[in-house]
């Protein structure tokens, strides 16, 4: 039999199998019992009982049209009726999530466990990147003790103050090495260019010198962070029932970079564990204790005495550090790179750049540089431009995921939600709602600083109280409000946001003061892949040292 015949048989076989599989799925949709909850909810698209093929088609089209469906639901139900609605998505079992209206944001401040029921934010976070297909050790994402390290070591103003000069040093060096010091125009990929700066600052805090500056380590960490997020977004386009077939293939790239990262990191983790052991045994150890995330994590890992978990296993510790690369590198780079694109594609580009440069030069002269957290805190326009970019260039369509794990959660309107259901908030629509922001589609860089510009004058005229009073009213990039949700809200609002803000503000200030930048070609169009807004990975820029 010729290979052509073989190929034909193969294609026909696959076609018959796919046809059978789809029909079984549609029959299942038609006759499976859906929880009564869905009948109480408004929905943008009809339910499966109405017409299974239409339902299946709508779920499939949500890969491209999630943003459109969410916009429609927000307008028709969240805004007009203040009611939750059902949004189709292949992301979860049952192909539907509940979108809660903005009036339910206060629920985020309550405890995860009440007498009626319990919910968690972890399932949504883990399934955004589909960590289970990438990380071989489920303890990493089921027992997130590394989150405690972020809360204990990266939130307090004194910790940020201590880290600020280190971050400033790393940002300056990486700009000089990666972006260069020549006055000639040079073209680079903007996403990679921004990512290299952020990765270096992040790695310095995560694992310290000298490994944090290892070029191969840096590139691996950056590639891992991006491939994990992008791979997760692609896996989520497939229904859960067939993920076990496709996910191992899609996650190959992320697993490859993770294995490389862990291999490079293991000797350092083992060395730190040995030093710790020696110290406990009363041996002489070097006096200078490293001040990085790896070191901060050791006592917290040691506290867990359950021998079955062995939190002091070097491989497990390395995997925990790897799992932090997504927020530390990808999320921070996402906002920083978008902010650069938003500034340079704005009609008001020249004014924005002049305003930022004036502020950075003035504050730098006042504080003798921009290497302390006090000086960076004084950069009101820099803070505002980043906050505005986070508002308008959201990382996802919906965000702040909550999965019911036990009992029931009352979401009002006579609706109680039981286990296995994911709830989300229409964050992008809230950020672009004209009732929340004037002229919401305009990138208004100094929206959050404009009315606070005079405090500098107040301070210099001796009216210190007035300046402080006004300053406390200002919404900072780290201030979460019911209309500003990129860092979440309430009990689980991002604990890494002060660190993220410090890195992004220092990087932007350094960029504005030291480089001319221009976008090459038109600004990248924003597109959604399922729930994720695709980052500007292809953007090209021209830049030169000033």
Residue 487 found at the interface with ligand HEM (CB under 6 A): yes
Question: Taking contact as CB under 6 A, which single stretch among the options 12-20, 187-195, 224-232, 496-504 is the one that binds ligand HEM?
Answer: 496-504
339 is in an annotated binding site: no
Shorter beta-carbon distance to ligand HEM: residue 45 or 230: 230
Question: Taking contact as CB under 6 A, which single stretch among the options 31-39, 276-284, 330-338, 455-463 is the one that binds ligand HEM?
Answer: 330-338
* Matching residue, tokens 């004194």: 158
Q: How far is the CB of 19 from ligand HEM (least distance, A)?
A: 40
Shorter beta-carbon distance to ligand HEM: residue 436 or 478: 478
Residue 486 found at the interface with ligand HEM (CB under 6 A): yes
Q: How far is the CB of 492 from ligand HEM (least distance, A)?
A: 4
As given in the structure block, the two tokens for residue 288 are 């200078």
How many residues lie near ligand HEM (CB under 6 A)?
Answer: 22
Residue 231 found at the interface with ligand HEM (CB under 6 A): no
Shorter beta-carbon distance to ligand HEM: residue 58 or 399: 399
Q: Which of 171, 332, 352, 379 binds ligand HEM (CB under 6 A)?
A: 332
Question: Taking contact as CB under 6 A, which single stretch among the options 18-26, 94-102, 329-337, 453-461 is the one that binds ligand HEM?
Answer: 329-337
Cα 108 from Cα 114, distance rounded (Å)? 12
Residue 117 β-bridge partners: 407
Q: Which of 400, 507, 512, 519 binds ligand HEM (CB under 6 A)?
A: 400
Q: Which of 38, 147, 367, 456 binds ligand HEM (CB under 6 A)?
A: 147
Provide the 10 A C-beta neighbour count for residue 211. Answer: 18
Cα 170 from Cα 530, distance rounded (Å)? 35
Q: Which of 499, 532, 536, 539 binds ligand HEM (CB under 6 A)?
A: 499
As given in the structure block, the two tokens for residue 402 are 């909550």
**Cα radius of gyration rounded to whole Å, the chain:** 25
Question: Taking contact as CB under 6 A, which single stretch among the options 80-88, 92-100, 282-290, 484-492 is the one that binds ligand HEM?
Answer: 484-492
Question: Taking contact as CB under 6 A, which single stretch among the options 26-34, 85-93, 486-494, 533-541 is the one that binds ligand HEM?
Answer: 486-494
Beta-sheet strands, E only, within 60-205: 85-88, 96-99, 117-120, 186-189
Inter-residue contact 484 to 475 (CB < 8 Å): yes
Q: How far is the CB of 379 from ligand HEM (least distance, A)?
A: 17
Interface mask (CB under 6 A) for ligand HEM, residues 106-145, using x and -?
A: ---------------x------------------------
Buried/exposed code over 224-236 (b: 16+ C-beta within 10 A; e: otherwise):
bbbbbbbbbbbbb
Shorter beta-carbon distance to ligand HEM: residue 208 or 327: 327
Residue 404 found at the interface with ligand HEM (CB under 6 A): no
Residue 205 found at the interface with ligand HEM (CB under 6 A): no
* Matching residue, tokens 């979108």: 99
Q: How far is the CB of 521 from ligand HEM (least distance, A)?
A: 26
Q: How far is the CB of 101 from ligand HEM (least distance, A)?
A: 17
Q: Which of 126, 194, 314, 335 binds ligand HEM (CB under 6 A)?
A: 335
As given in the structure block, the two tokens for residue 271 are 């060395």
Cα 362 from Cα 354, distance rounded (Å)? 12
Residue 500 found at the interface with ligand HEM (CB under 6 A): yes
Cα 191 from Cα 533, distance rounded (Å)? 15
Q: How far is the CB of 349 from ligand HEM (least distance, A)?
A: 23
Question: Taking contact as CB under 6 A, which single stretch among the options 7-15, 34-42, 322-330, 462-470 is the one that binds ligand HEM?
Answer: 322-330
Contacts of 388 (CB under 8 A, 6+ apart): 342, 443, 444, 445, 446, 447, 448
DSSP 395-435: SBSSEEEEEEEEE-EE-STT-EE-TT-EEEE-HHHHHT-TT
User: Of 178, 176, 266, 273, which is closest to residue 222 (Cα–Cα)?
Assistant: 178
416 Rama class: left (phi>0) / alpha (psi -120 to 50) / beta: beta
As given in the structure block, the two tokens for residue 427 are 């964050």
Going by DSSP bridges, is the β-strand pair 422-425/399-407 parallel, antiparallel, or unpaired? antiparallel
Q: Which of 92, 150, 234, 254 binds ligand HEM (CB under 6 A)?
A: 150
Shortest-Cβ-distance residue relative to ligand HEM? 496
- Written in H, E and C, the secondary structure of 293-327 is HHHHHHHHHHHCCCCCCCCCCHHHHHHHHHHCHHH
User: Of 322, 136, 344, 133, which is closest to residue 231 (Cα–Cα)?
Assistant: 133
Interface mask (CB under 6 A) for ligand HEM, residues 366-395, using x and -?
A: -----------------------------x
Q: How far is the CB of 489 from ligand HEM (least distance, A)?
A: 6
User: Of 542, 532, 507, which is closest to residue 194 (Cα–Cα)?
Assistant: 507
Shorter beta-carbon distance to ligand HEM: residue 86 or 339: 339
Q: How far is the CB of 201 from ligand HEM (least distance, A)?
A: 10
Q: Which of 327, 355, 524, 536 binds ligand HEM (CB under 6 A)?
A: 327
- What value, to the nearest 5°, has the Cα angle with vertex 245 and ends 244 and 246? 100
Q: How many CA atoms lie within 13 A of 8 on its CB side?
A: 5
Residue 476 found at the interface with ligand HEM (CB under 6 A): no
Q: What is the torsion angle, in degrees rounded to the nearest 10, for the CA atoms of residue 192, residue 359, residue 166 and residue 225?
A: -30
Q: How far is the CB of 449 from ligand HEM (least distance, A)?
A: 19
What does the DSSP 8-state code read for residue 481? B
Q: Which of 47, 426, 495, 524 binds ligand HEM (CB under 6 A)?
A: 495
Q: Where is the binding site, in residues? A: 494
Which residues of this chain interact with ligand HEM, rule CB under 6 A?
121, 147, 150, 324, 327-328, 331-332, 335, 395, 399-400, 486-488, 492-496, 499-500
Q: Where is the binding site for heme, in residues? A: 494
């Amino acid at each position: 039999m010729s290979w052509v015949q073989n190929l034909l048989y193969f294609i026909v076989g696959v076609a018959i199998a796919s046809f059978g599989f789809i029909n079984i799925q549609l029959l299942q949709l038609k006759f499976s019992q859906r929880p009564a909850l869905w009948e109480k909810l408004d929905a943008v698209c009809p339910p499966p009982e109405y017409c299974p093929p239409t339902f299946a088609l709508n779920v499939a089209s949500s890969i491209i049209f999630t943003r459109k469906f969410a916009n429609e639901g927000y307008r028709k139900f969240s805004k007009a009726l203040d009611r939750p609605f059902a949004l189709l998505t292949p992301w979860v079992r049952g192909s539907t999530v509940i979108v809660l209206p903005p009036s339910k944001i206060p629920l985020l401040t309550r405890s995860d466990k009440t007498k009626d029921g319990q919910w968690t934010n972890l399932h949504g976070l883990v399934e955004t990147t589909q960590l289970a297909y990438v990380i071989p050790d489920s303890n990493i994402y089921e027992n997130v003790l590394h989150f405690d390290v972020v809360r204990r070591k990266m939130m307090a103003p004194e910790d940020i103050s201590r880290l600020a000069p280190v971050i400033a040093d790393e940002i300056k060096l990486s700009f000089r090495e990666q972006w260069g010091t020549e006055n000639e125009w040079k073209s680079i990929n903007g996403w990679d260019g921004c990512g290299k700066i952020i990765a270096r600052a992040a790695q310095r805090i995560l694992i310290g010198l000298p490994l944090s500056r290892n070029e191969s380590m840096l590139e691996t960490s950056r590639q891992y962070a991006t491939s994990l997020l992008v791979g997760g977004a692609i896996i989520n386009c497939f229904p859960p029932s067939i993920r076990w077939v496709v996910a191992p293939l899609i996650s190959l790239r992320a697993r490859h970079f993770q294995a490389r990262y862990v291999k490079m990191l293991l000797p350092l983790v083992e060395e730190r564990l040995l030093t710790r052991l020696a110290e406990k045994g009363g041996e002489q150890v070097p006096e200078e204790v490293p001040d990085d995330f790896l070191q901060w994590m050791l006592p917290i890992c040691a506290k867990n005495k359950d021998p079955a978990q062995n939190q002091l296993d070097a491989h497990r510790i390395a995997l925990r550090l790897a799992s932090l690369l997504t927020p530390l590198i990808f999320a921070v780079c996402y906002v920083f790179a978008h902010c650069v694109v938003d500034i340079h594609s704005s009609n008001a580009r020249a004014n924005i750049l002049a305003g930022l440069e004036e502020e950075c030069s003035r504050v730098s002269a006042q504080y003798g540089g921009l290497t302390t957290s006090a000086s960076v805190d004084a950069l009101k326009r820099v803070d505002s431009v980043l906050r505005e970019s986070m508002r308008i260039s959201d990382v996802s369509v919906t965000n702040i995921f909550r999965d019911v794990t036990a009992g029931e959660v009352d979401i009002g309107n006579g609706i109680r939600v039981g286990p296995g259901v994911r709830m989300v908030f229409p964050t992008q629509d809230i950020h672009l709602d004209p009732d929340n922001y004037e002229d919401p589609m305009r990138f208004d860089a100094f929206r959050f600083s404009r009315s606070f510009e005079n405090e500098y004058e107040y301070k210099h005229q001796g009216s210190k109280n007035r300046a402080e009073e006004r300053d406390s009213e200002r919404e900072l990039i780290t201030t979460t409000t019911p209309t500003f949700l990129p860092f979440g809200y309430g009990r689980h609002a991002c604990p890494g946001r002060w660190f993220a803000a410090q890195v992004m503000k220092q990087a932007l200030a350094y960029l504005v003061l030291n480089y001319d930048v221009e976008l090459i070609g038109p600004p990248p169009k924003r597109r959604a892949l399922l729930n994720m807004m695709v980052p500007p990975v292809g953007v090209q820029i021209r830049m030169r040292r000033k």
